[in-house]
A and B are shown apart, each in its own frame.
Chain A
Amino acid sequence: MNLIVRHGEREEKVGIRRDGDLYEVTVDEHTWHVDAAKAGPGLRSLLVDGAQHEVAAAPCADGYWVSTHDGAGQVSVTDPLTHLASQNQGGKAGKRRQKITAYMPGRVVEILAEEGQAVTTGQGVVVLEAMKMQNEIRAEHDGTITRMHVQPGQAVEGGDPLFEMD
């Protein structure tokens, strides 16, 4: 699983895979071997190459709220492969009229649906490239694309509108 993880000023591509009882987590080209044992709800004891860290991670609006012994902070996690438009719409789930925004800075690679086109849940609408990974922004529900804000090749900032749908 490849993730885009942001913490404070840092933005990293993080690779994670399970290797038997251990996790292999690659951050910025360094691979950590992590024994992660659950110690309570959301609480884990991580053994990272011999060092022990008690860490809590609880889901929050834009990722996880992570507390260590030294402090706490938000870590946002984006999974480009399962990224649905609903995750960045800002409004309540179930709201039908949506403006879908870019979840992070990137470049529009391809437009898969045009204005006025009917789309079904999960159908790809815009392909965004960020952190050298391509991410398909998909429709969260059946509906119609009412407005397309971007075109191929365009650079976008996090929060910029991509398209709107009803």
Chain B
Amino acid sequence: MTEPTPTPDRNPGSLPDRKPIRKILIANRGEIAVRVIRACRELGIRSAVIYSEPDRLGLPVLLADEAYPIGPAPSRESYLRAETIVQLAVEIGADAIHPGYGFLSERAGFARLCRDAGVTFIGPSPEAIDAMGSKVESRRLMIDAGVPVVPGGRDPLPELEAAEAAAASIGYPVMLKAAAGGGGKGMRRIDSAGEFASAYRAARSEAGASFGDDSVYLEKYIVEPRHVEIQVLGDLHGRVVSLGERECSLQRRHQKVVEEAPSPVVDADLRRRMGEAAVRAASAVGYSNAGTCEFLLAKDGQFYFLEMNTRLQVEHPVTELVTGLDLVHWQIKVAEGEPLAPELEGIQPRGHAVEVRLYAEDPFQRFAPSPGRITLLRWPEGPGIRNDAGVYEGSEVSIHYDPMLAKLIVWAVDRPTALNRLRRALAEIRIEGIRTTIPLFQALLADADFLSGNMDIAMLDRKLEDGQLHPPAPADGTEDLPLIAAAIEHYERANRTAAGSPNAPSLRSRWGATARGEALRKSS
């Protein structure tokens, strides 16, 4: 681990007085609001939440010490009302605001409003958020700090010869990208120098035709990379530590679906080198509080900085389970001014943790959202299970917000044991009234690539596209089970209807139907 780096905007000589936090306003909803409430209660801090109209009976409101209406359903008129939220914090005497993830968590302007109002923002400084929020500036800062970035540049390459020379110095394969592009248009992969000239001309004309601007730039093409990220934690005294990596390669349309720690392919040496790079990255912007540096990890073991998420991540629990730390406790402590404990340096993962994000989406219907009332809910329990849920039985899953219901996280001594435990835990879940992504995870747990830890960031989309994921084969002798269950349900419903529901066909007409049916059968 590197030396603690004093940051320019702080004075490490005079530690700020520890400013105890007694009440936190949580500017979020769902499971992450619940997560922060739990930390507050454990630390003896009063928790206050805001809620939009449809969230009046949300789990955060039921668990919090205080709750305040913030507006109607649309986020813009509720959870994104930065000024109103800061004002509320002042009015109710909250010392600090926890932004969770999403919503206002990475808005430097919100952190600034908090600072101006004398309310502690539980997160990094607005300057750090700004610096990491700009792709161009953060890339420049990272290069200066010696953090590896994807080789290449944003400078347009108008001459073929210069472009060819740039490609040769980056090393093949390379990717030509339209400067005005996006959505994959004007992108072209080139594997060798021989293909370059014709691909270059084609990319430029495609870019010109699509965007009215034919300038292109070059980047190294990373073949089937993994997404591996490093959790960092910084205090207000210029010290930043790495808490190890998370493997987040399983993504559907750039949304993480399964996360684990440690990564199946990161050894102690790579962990140390990635951790050092992440600490350099964070230190370069004077980072404090919890944050995450995302990297692409190539097959040859090279890693490249992508971006830094300047907040608590959805997947932080896998790090908590393998380090034994409570990251939200630490977020609050460092916000109070407490220095990082020396034993956080060089921490190594113990065992293996896997998280799956349970969404109210139907994996059989192209992941269509599945809002509705949860009519039956039983979560898994027992050894090694952690469940961070934002809903309960009877909850209404609304169409207004992210459809994540819960994060199921398992811990075990090693990866195979953790995956078996995850399979067991998924089987225990009973959730009715809405569709969920549980069948997707059950299919993944039957997939040889996932089981062997062989993943890249495009693998899940590829497998879904090609129809390569299948539900696990039913155990011997249970093939008929779904048919039996459906037949029994149907039989009981039919009998219930017959036995006196006002909508039931009259006895007379049922007799008629039966007689007709009998006659039909005889005639056949």
Cβ of B516 within 8 Å of any chain A Cβ, yes or no, is: yes
* Chain A residues whose CB sits within 8 angstroms of the CB of B516 once the complex forms: 124, 136
Q: Scan residues 56-92 of chain B and give those whose CB is less than 8 A from a CB of chain A.
A: none
Q: Scan residues 461-498 of chain B and give those whose CB is less than 8 A from a CB of chain A.
A: 471-472, 474-475, 477-478, 480-491, 493-494
| Distance between B285 CB and nearest chain A CB, rounded to angstroms | 46
Interface footprint category on B: 35 or more
Interface footprint category on A: 35 or more
Cross-chain contact of A43 among B376, B443, B481, B491 (Cβ < 8 A): B376
Looking across the interface, which residue of chain B has its beta carbon closest to that of A129?
Answer: B524
Q: Once the chains bind, are A66 and B482 in contact (CB under 8 Å)?
A: yes
* Chain B residues whose CB sits within 8 angstroms of the CB of A41 once the complex forms: 375-376, 432
Q: Once the chains bind, are A127 and B520 in contact (CB under 8 Å)?
A: yes
What string of 1s and 0s marks CB contacts (under 8 Å) between A32-60 and chain B? 10101000111110101001011111110
Q: How far is the CA of A25 from the CA of B482 in the complex (A)?
A: 12
* Chain A residues whose CB sits within 8 angstroms of the CB of B505 once the complex forms: 122
Cβ of B23 within 8 Å of any chain A Cβ, yes or no, is: no
What string of 1s and 0s marks CB contacts (under 8 Å) between B426-438 and chain A? 0110101101001
Q: Once the chains bind, are A34 and B483 in contact (CB under 8 Å)?
A: no
Q: Once the chains bind, are B487 and A3 in contact (CB under 8 Å)?
A: yes
Q: How far is the CA of A48 from the CA of B476 in the complex (A)?
A: 13
Q: Once the chains bind, are A44 and B488 in contact (CB under 8 Å)?
A: yes
Cβ of A68 within 8 Å of any chain B Cβ, yes or no, is: yes
| Distance between B225 CB and nearest chain A CB, rounded to angstroms | 31
Contacts between chains A and B (CB distance < 8 A), count? 152
* Chain B residues whose CB sits within 8 angstroms of the CB of A56 once the complex forms: 376, 430, 432
* Chain A residues whose CB sits within 8 angstroms of the CB of B521 once the complex forms: 133-134
Cβ of B439 within 8 Å of any chain A Cβ, yes or no, is: yes
Contacts A23-B488, A70-B474 given; does A1 touch B482 at CB 8 Å: no
Cβ of A63 within 8 Å of any chain B Cβ, yes or no, is: yes
| Distance between B500 CB and nearest chain A CB, rounded to angstroms | 17
Q: How far is the CA of A145 from the CA of B486 in the complex (A)?
A: 34
Contacts A48-B481, A65-B435, A134-B524 given; does A59 touch B475 at CB 8 Å: no
Interface core residue of A12, A25, A34, A70 (most chain B CB under 10 Å): A70
Looking across the interface, which residue of chain A has its beta carbon closest to that of B484?
Answer: A25
* Chain A residues whose CB sits within 8 angstroms of the CB of B442 once the complex forms: 70-71
Cross-chain contact of B439 among A28, A72, A82, A127 (Cβ < 8 A): A72
| Distance between A116 CB and nearest chain B CB, rounded to angstroms | 23
Cβ of B401 within 8 Å of any chain A Cβ, yes or no, is: no
| Distance between B291 CB and nearest chain A CB, rounded to angstroms | 38
Cβ of A146 within 8 Å of any chain B Cβ, yes or no, is: no
Q: Once the chains bind, are B376 and A32 in contact (CB under 8 Å)?
A: no
Cβ of B514 within 8 Å of any chain A Cβ, yes or no, is: yes
Q: Once the chains bind, are A75 and B375 in contact (CB under 8 Å)?
A: no
Looking across the interface, which residue of chain B has its beta carbon closest to that of A69?
Answer: B427
| Distance between B472 CB and nearest chain A CB, rounded to angstroms | 6
Cβ of B198 within 8 Å of any chain A Cβ, yes or no, is: no
Q: Once the chains bind, are B482 and A73 in contact (CB under 8 Å)?
A: yes
Q: How far is the CA of A72 from the CA of B471 in the complex (A)?
A: 9
* Chain B residues whose CB sits within 8 angstroms of the CB of A79 once the complex forms: 490, 494
Looking across the interface, which residue of chain B has its beta carbon closest to that of A121?
Answer: B509
Looking across the interface, which residue of chain A has its beta carbon closest to that of B427?
Answer: A69
| Distance between B356 CB and nearest chain A CB, rounded to angstroms | 15
* Chain B residues whose CB sits within 8 angstroms of the CB of A51 once the complex forms: 477-478
Q: Once the chains bind, are B486 and A66 in contact (CB under 8 Å)?
A: yes
Q: Once the chains bind, are B483 and A42 in contact (CB under 8 Å)?
A: no
Cβ of B270 within 8 Å of any chain A Cβ, yes or no, is: no
* Chain B residues whose CB sits within 8 angstroms of the CB of A68 once the complex forms: 474, 478, 481-482, 485
* Chain A residues whose CB sits within 8 angstroms of the CB of B489 once the complex forms: 42, 44, 57, 59, 64
Inter-chain pairs besides A65-B435, A66-B482, A75-B485, 6 sampled, C-beta below 8 Å: A27-B480, A41-B432, A77-B486, A122-B505, A134-B523, A136-B520
